[in-house]
Every structure is written in structure tokens, then in C-alpha cells.
Amino acid sequence: MSILSGIIPPVLTPFHADGSLDLESLDTLVEHLVSGGVHGLFVLGSSGQVAYLTDEERDTVVQRVIAKADDRVPVVVGTADLTARRILAHARRAQAQGAAAIVVTAPLYALNNAAEIADHFRIIAAGVDIPLIAYDVPVRGPAKLGRDMLVQLGREGVIAGVKDSSGDDVAFRRLVDANRAAGSPLSISTGHEVMCDGMLLVGAEGCVPGLANVDPAGYVRLHDAAQRGDWEAARDEQDRINRLFEIAFVPQGRSGDAGGIGAFKAACAALGVIASGTMPAPIEALSGEEVAGVEAIVREVGLL
């Protein structure tokens, strides 16, 4: 089975009220996910609020999740930083801790073209011994990763997969098609919560939905239905999940890093999976009214 097959939640990072990591909550969250049947864990992603963590905190999170996962599922690790040599330092620490793969974005702050971005991935791949997954998340950086570049890097063995959070379904489908035509060197997953059914139908091997922190079992059922070719059951499960996803729209007028992740944390807290919905400074946790709105939806779909 390839590295991005199945449901691989981007694990939330819980915090104490004083801003320190809440590692006990991280343990219970990991247990919730693994016992929910997920196929892997992705730590230090956008949903894991990697941008707000120091290097020491990153290492602590990786170590804790790998220990708790205890070889039951693979753990892939995000490495967000500005450019290749800086990312490589994170990648090597992740490898040393037992990461199954690393997840790497295009350069940040830097303004590179396609050839330079391809070399960026090559530099990093040459410096580690674990698979590299390209993370296409243009909303957070200057560059959409091109289809031909990704397939070429797959052919070269530089990258083993693509986590697509580009929100561009035409590009996604064309990537799936080109990858197949090239002999499928890449494992392709979608990062969007609400279209896993459609994307699995058309060729995604896996999904990396932040909402799976709240309802891992639902996503696993969706994936199982897709695996057995029961696409209407997959769609019905997705439709149910999408009603739950409305929690992400309860917070209004919030930043991109505050609303959705804040709602996922609030829902996990309501379910007792983590202790609180605390957010890292300068982001504020949801208000009491927002939390109540989130809980109402969680209850409405039957999770609470």
C-alpha cells in the first residue's frame, strides 16, 4: 500500500491555556484517530498549526505522536520552512525520530520558477532516506505546483506522492490522469474535506481531511465504501460528513487559521478528545457562542 493510501488526518496540535503543548490531549487525540481506523497520521501540517511552533515544539510533537502511534499506523511529518536547506534540517530530525515520510511545500517567501521549485524538491530528497510528499497548498505560498513537474519528479523518484490542497479540481484530475499514464509513480491524496467521495472515484488514493480529527470513523466508512465500489454509499457518507463540516463556517469574520481549525478543536473538545480548544497566539480560541454553534452541529449529526 502506498504512503498516502486511505484516511490520513492532519493531526491537530492541542495547547494548554499558557500556550504550552498539551501532550496528554495529543495522546488521546492520536488514540481517537488510530482506534477510529485511520490509515496514517500527518503531523505538523497546516491543521497542526506547524507555523506557530518552534523547532523544539515540533520535535516534541513528532516524538510524542510516533510513540503513541506505536507502529500501528505510519506517521508522516510536515517540514514547513522557507527554502530547501532550512527544510532539510527539519526533515532530517523527523527521519531520525522515525517518520515514515516527510511532507514538503514549495519555497515560501522566495519567488522561484518551476525549474527552481523542481530543484528545491531534488535538493531535499537527496538529503534524506525517507519518501518525500509534495504538498500543493497555493493559498499559503506563492506557487501552484505544476502537473508536469510533479509527474517528472515522481518518475525520477524524487517524490513519492502529492497532497493536493489546491482546490483546483481540473488540475487534480489532470494530475491523476498524467500520473496513471506515467505508470503511477505518485500516490495522490486530496486535502479537502468535502469531496473525498468524488476524488476517490476519479483516482485519489487517499484523503487528508482536517475534519477527520473530529470524525475519523466516518471518513473510514466513506473510504471502505469506495474501496468496495459502492459509490453511492460513499457519497451518502460524504453528505453526512459535509453537514458536520458546517462547523467550520460557524465562526464568522475569522482569519483562515482561526475559523476552521478553531471549530475542529472546539468539536474535539466537546467530544472529550482534547482538553480544550486553545489556539496559539496571536489567534484567539472560539467564543462561547461560537463553541455552542459548533456543538449544536456536532449533536445534530449524532456524534454527541
Cβ 50 to its own copies shortest distance, Å: 8
Residue 173 belongs to what H/E stretch? Answer: helix 169-181
> Which member of 68, 109, 163, 219 is catalytic?
163
Among 254, 262, 263, 293, binds its own copies (CB under 8 A): 254
Nearer residue to its own copies within complex by CB, 94 or 117: 117
219 assigned to active site: no
* φ, ψ of residue 202 in degrees (nearest 5): -90, 0
- Within positions 126 to 185, which residues make up the interface with its own copies, using CB under 8 A? 139-142, 167-170, 172-174, 177
Give CA–CA dist 65/190, Å, rounded: 22
Among 23, 233, 258, 275, binds its own copies (CB under 8 A): 258
Closest by Cα among 115, 208, 213, 215 to 166: 208
Which residues are bridge partners to 132 per DSSP?
A: 102
Nearer residue to its own copies within complex by CB, 97 or 112: 112
Q: Mask 276-295, x = binds its own copies (CB under 8 A)?
A: -----xxx------------
Binding flag, residue 202, its own copies (CB under 8 A): yes
- Within positions 217 to 246, which residues make up the interface with its own copies, using CB under 8 A? 229, 231-232, 235, 238-239, 242-243
Our CA dihedral for 294, 298, 299, 304, rounded to 10 degrees, sits at -120
> Which member of 52, 68, 135, 265 is catalytic?
135
> Strands across the sheet with 187-190, in order?
6-7, 206-207, 187-190, 161-164, 132-136, 101-105, 75-78, 41-43
Nearer residue to its own copies within complex by CB, 69 or 212: 212
Q: How many residues bind its own copies (CB under 8 A)?
A: 67
Give CA–CA dist 215/179, Å, rounded: 30
Which residues are bridge partners to 161 per DSSP?
A: 133, 187
Nearer residue to its own copies within complex by CB, 86 or 155: 86
Cβ 202 to its own copies shortest distance, Å: 5
- Within positions 75 to 134, which residues make up the interface with its own copies, using CB under 8 A? 80-86, 89, 105, 107-113, 115-120, 122-123
Nearer residue to its own copies within complex by CB, 89 or 304: 89
Half-sphere exposure of 259 (CA within 13 A, CB side): 12
Cβ 32 to its own copies shortest distance, Å: 25
Give CA–CA dist 9/214, Å, rounded: 10
Nearer residue to its own copies within complex by CB, 142 or 183: 142
Task: Find all residues with CB under 8 Å of 27, minimum gap 6, and list them.
Answer: 64, 68
Binding flag, residue 48, its own copies (CB under 8 A): no
Is the N-terminal amide bond of 74 cis, ω within 30° of 0?
no
Q: What is the CA radius of gyration of the chain?
A: 18
265 assigned to active site: no
Among 23, 182, 201, 233, binds its own copies (CB under 8 A): 201
What does 42-92 look like in DSSP terms, one character per residue?
A: EESSTTTTGGG--HHHHHHHHHHHHHHHTTSS-EEEE---SSHHHHHHHHH
- Contacts to its own copies by CB under 8 A: 46, 50-52, 54, 80-86, 89, 105, 107-113, 115-120, 122-123, 139-142, 167-170, 172-174, 177, 192-195, 197-199, 201-202, 229, 231-232, 235, 238-239, 242-243, 253-258, 281-283
Give the catalytic positions in this structure: 135, 163
